[in-house]
Amino acid sequence: MKIKKILATLTLGIVVCTHAIADEGMWMLTDIKHQNEMAMKELGLMIPVDMIYSTEGISIKDAVVHFGGGCTGEIISPEGLVLTNHHCGYSAIARHSTVEHDYLTHGFWAMNHEEELATPGLNVTFIDKILDVTSYVKEQLQKDEDPNGTNYLSPKYLTQVAKRFIESEKITLGKGQITELKPFYGGNRYYMFIKTVYPDVRMVGAPPSSIGKFGADTDNWMWPRHTGDFSLFRIYADKNGEPAEYSKDNVPLRPKKHVKISLAGYKESDFTFIMGFPGRNWRYMISDEVEERMETINFMRHHIRDARQQALMEEMVKDDAVRIHYASRYASSANYWKNAIGMNEGLKRLHVLDTKKAQQEAILQYAKEKNDRKIEEAFQTIRKVVADRKPSMYHYYAISEALYAPIQLCSAPSTKKLEQALKSKQKAAIKAQTDSLTLDVEKYFQRMPFPEVERKVSKALLKAYKEYVPEADRISVFANIAREYGDDTDAYVDSWFEKSIFGSKENYDRFAQKPSLKQLQNDPLITYVKSVVEGMQACANTMAEANKNYDAAHKEWVRGTLEKKNAEGRPIYPDANSTLRLTYGSVRSYSPADGVTYDYQTTLKGVMQKEDPTNSEFIVPDKLKELYTHKDYGRYADENGEMPVCFIVNTDNTGGNSGSPCFNAKGELIGTGFDRNYEGLTGDIAFRPSSQRAIVVDIRYTLFIIDKFAGASHLIKELDIAD
């Protein structure tokens, strides 16, 4: 009887506290029935939770897909039509674009299935089942040898455990089905996902960048927003409806679930929920880790990418071919450049370090009361790990951001096998390896059609590295630059193009006619890449040594946090890790500063107010201006006769939620999430419901652009729309 009373009290505590903090949380779908259903209904949910997620039947979950591995999409028609963000489809749009057919600038609309463009490498993944396998995994961890003590987090080990589980449960995987077993809560729980991957995905529609990317870098991460950030793709399958590689014989997928669309709109405080695949966040960090993040990753993303983007943009505005080629890379870089700046500003402005310190002191006090020394020991271990690894982490990200990833010349093919053949002096081996290298080199130069742009960017990045890394800490090649080039990094970069076999096709062709071991050993670019890799490896080794005890300590710290929350009757959720989650809240305006209030909705009127024909970020297409002038909005206008564009909700989102469907209380689609507000960029570390907002494209604007602007009314006819 006493146990029943305790459980009843705990359940009541969960209900009460859930209502208080309902807007925070990236909830596992398997938990919402017992953790969140009552709170969601109190906030306004009008459908049973089983309609959102069901372990046996079909639910809304079955229409939410992982798009390309980094975004979210939703199935919006019985013919496999996928709605996602413009920026999620951006690389595909860019890949299909040429100067003659510039889909980035002018948009693209397939007027029938035959015009839809195959996009090799792009796939869409459905989540078929989510299984809590915590007990099974813990049993296996007890049975198996674990010399390094890392099995509980090892992807390789967990993949083996997933295979065992499938065999033990006699689960038969269908065509295109795969499994993924992941740790949650630092390895305190485990879930397995059974998925189906469709590799034949075709581009159907995309607005011009003047709509899909309106506001570009200036408006990125900002509110108010006026961006029609959407694109359309279609999933194709074989004639049996099963996943298949591209074939002209494939047909549009007939999905088991597609979402219903609402044109009814919303008002302040209306309940909403979002489903998607948030990438990463770090809510269980201690304050030392937050400070480390600010001073290493965020610092380097801010300052190094700033230099790169300035150099790139100067060239992109001069030449359309250059703009198209670098568009996706630039956008990807700029996105988290601004994120890093905003996060650091917000963490300071909101005194998040102080909040974290107060939270961890409360956990330590709880541990003391419970006489749980492991929690205190875990905390001290994490602090020591951070102190030991921080200098190496700073340098690692300096190298990564400045000297390796953004310098395309670093992707030159390896010459190791040819070097070995040259050392052997065997003519047949030398010829074979030279021929093999030549094939790789041809692909390498195809990836770099604009060497002068690469030269300019590389020069800017090497200077940035020198600015932020003290001379004594720099990688070895910088001593050579000082000695042989008078510390002139520009002259050193020029030597890559003038002397390296990878500096130009002509350089390589001359080398290939008479391969030389000495030339390879003295090649300035090959020497540079070796130095960069050695520098990164040295940093990684130092961090690995420091991190040896981190995972175990983090697991204990998270355990302590969870136990404290459970003792208080508070619901729990794991950090984001690119798995399917649900977050809920309501349509909400907010006040970012004293005397400033932002409304919850924007309209087409705001697009016209922002128009600036001299600024490429704020150009408005003539057709859109014509529709605005005549108020030709069709059935998509709101009750006041205005054309809604975007709105904000106080749900808990992060990267990976891009493209996520936003539903109303009836489970109908009202928009597509695409961004967060600047004041809410601290959310990856600390959620602030008063200031954090997810920005959503109103579905009415999406349909208006498809129908009235693009004239693709055949797509509208596919949809299930409720007025």
Please give the positions annotated as active site: 87, 229, 658
Distance CA 408, CA 419 (A): 22
Distance CA 455, CA 326 (A): 14
Distance CA 413, CA 540 (A): 23
First to last CA, the chain: 53
Beta-sheet pairing, 590-593 with 596-598? antiparallel
Give the CA angle between residues 288, 292, 296 to the nearest 5°.
180
Contact (Cβ atoms closer than 8 angstroms) between residue 45 and residue 28: no
Distance CA 432, CA 428 (A): 6
Q: Is 341 exposed, middle or buried (0-12, 13-18, 19+ CB in 10 A)?
A: buried
Distance CA 606, CA 599 (A): 12
**Residue 466 structure tokens:** 């020198």
Q: Name 90's Cβ contacts closer than 8 Å, sequence gap at least 6.
A: 104, 213, 231, 327, 328, 331
Helix residue ranges, H only, 548-648: 550-567, 604-610, 622-629
Give the CA angle between residues 649, 654, 660 to the nearest 5°.
65
**Residue 71 structure tokens:** 């975004």
**Residue 619 structure tokens:** 């150009």
Distance CA 239, CA 175 (A): 13
Comparing C-alpha atoms, which of 94, 108, 118, 117 is closest to residue 207?
108
Distance CA 121, CA 113 (A): 20
**How many Cβ atoms are within 10 Å of 164's Cβ, its own excluded?**
12
**Residue 700 structure tokens:** 């009415």
Contact (Cβ atoms closer than 8 angstroms) between residue 42 and residue 19: yes
Contact (Cβ atoms closer than 8 angstroms) between residue 707 and residue 718: no
Distance CA 363, CA 354 (A): 14
Contact (Cβ atoms closer than 8 angstroms) between residue 133 and residue 164: no
| Cis ω for the linkage preceding 451 (within 30 of 0) | no
Comparing C-alpha atoms, which of 663, 529, 489 is closest to residue 74?
663
Site of tokens 């089983």 = 50
Comparing C-alpha atoms, which of 51, 52, 70 is closest to residue 657?
70
DSSP 8-state symbol, 286? -
Contact (Cβ atoms closer than 8 angstroms) between residue 219 and residue 614: no
Helix residue ranges, H only, 448-523: 451-468, 477-484, 489-499, 505-513, 517-522
User: Which H/E stretch holds residue 601?
Assistant: strand 601-603
Site of tokens 């109303």 = 664
Please provide residue 118's backbone torsions phi and psi, each rounded to the nearest 5 degrees: -60, 140
The helix/strand/coil state of 252 is strand
Site of tokens 């579905």 = 699
Diameter of the chain measured on Cα atoms? 88
Distance CA 193, CA 237 (A): 22
The helix/strand/coil state of 589 is coil
Site of tokens 């630092």 = 186
Comparing C-alpha atoms, which of 503, 475, 315 is closest to residue 408?
503
